[in-house]
Amino acid sequence: MGDVVPAPWGAHFLTTYEVCDQVLRSKTWAALDDDWRARQQAGSRWQAPASRELGHVLQGLNPPEHTRHRRSVGNIFDRNTLTRLRGPVTDIVNRLLDNLTDHMRDGEADFSALVSEELTIAVMGHWLGMPNEDHATVRSFSHAHLYAQELLPSPSQMAAADAGAVGMRDYFTGLVRDRRAHLGDDVLSGWIRTWDELEPDRERADEAVYFLAMFIVGAALETTSMLLNNLVVLLDQHPRQRNWLREHPEEVPRAVEEILRYDPPVHVTTRVAGEDTVLAGVPFRADELVHVLIASANRDPASVSDPDVFDIRRSGRSLSHLAFGGGVHYCIGAGLARLQAQVLLDALLRRFPSLRVSSPPQWEPRVAFRRLAALHVVDR
Q: What is the CATH number of the domain that holds 39?
A: 1.10.630.10
β-bridge partners, 271: 290
Is residue 12 within 8 A of residue 268, CB to CB? The reply is: no
pLDDT number for residue 215? 94
Q: Are strands 372-374 and 289-293 parallel, antiparallel or unpaired?
A: unpaired
Q: Give Cα 47 to chain centroid, integer Å.
A: 23
Q: How far apart are CA 371 and CA 373, in angstroms?
A: 6
Q: Give Cα 185 to chain centroid, integer Å.
A: 27
- Alpha-carbon radius of gyration of the chain: 21
pLDDT number for residue 341? 99
Mean pLDDT of the 107-135 span:
96
Is residue 321 within 8 A of residue 43, CB to CB? The reply is: no
Q: Which residues contact 79 (CB under 8 A, 6 or more apart)?
A: none
Res. 173: pLDDT tops 90: yes
β-bridge partners, 273: 29
- Tally of domains within the chain: 1
Q: Residues 315-341: pLDDT tens digits?
A: 887 789 999 999 999 999 999 999 999
Nearest 5 degrees, angle CA 48-CA 49-CA 55?
95
The percentage of the chain sitting over the pLDDT mark of 70, rounded to a whole number, equals: 100
Is residue 372 within 8 A of residue 112, CB to CB? The reply is: yes
Tell me the H-state helices in the chain. 17-25, 34-38, 49-54, 65-73, 79-104, 111, 117-128, 135-145, 155-181, 187-198, 202-237, 239-247, 252-262, 294-297, 334-351
pLDDT number for residue 1? 63
Q: Are strands 109-110 and 376-379 parallel, antiparallel or unpaired?
A: antiparallel
Q: Which of 341, 284, 333, 275 is nearest to 312 (CA)?
A: 341
pLDDT number for residue 315? 84
Q: Tell me, what DSSP letter sits at residue 224?
A: H
Please provide the size of the chain in residues.
380
Q: Residues 91-118: pLDDT tens digits?
A: 999 999 999 999 999 899 999 999 999 9
Is residue 268 within 8 A of residue 291, CB to CB? The reply is: yes
Q: Which of 165, 217, 219, 233 is nearest to 372 (CA)?
A: 233
- Work out the mean pLDDT of the chain and round it to a whole number: 95
Mean pLDDT of the 146-153 span:
92
Q: Tell me, what DSSP letter sits at residue 148?
A: G
Is residue 229 within 8 A of residue 372, CB to CB? The reply is: yes
Q: Residues 241-276: pLDDT tens digits?
A: 999 999 999 999 999 999 999 999 999 999 999 999
Res. 56: pLDDT tops 90: yes
**Prediction pTM value:** 0.95
Cis peptide before 64 (omega within 30 of 0): yes
pLDDT number for residue 165? 97
Which 3 state secondary structure label does DSSP give 254?
A: helix
Residue 141's identity, in one-letter code, is F
212: containing domain? 4-379
Q: Which of 144, 148, 89 is nearest to 115 (CA)?
A: 89
Q: How far apart are CA 375 and CA 269, in angstroms?
A: 25
Res. 355: pLDDT tops 70: yes
Mean pLDDT of the 49-60 span:
94
Is residue 115 within 8 A of residue 379, CB to CB? The reply is: no
Mean pLDDT of the 23-27 span:
97
- Res. 44 pLDDT band, cuts 50 70 90: confident
Res. 86: pLDDT tops 90: yes
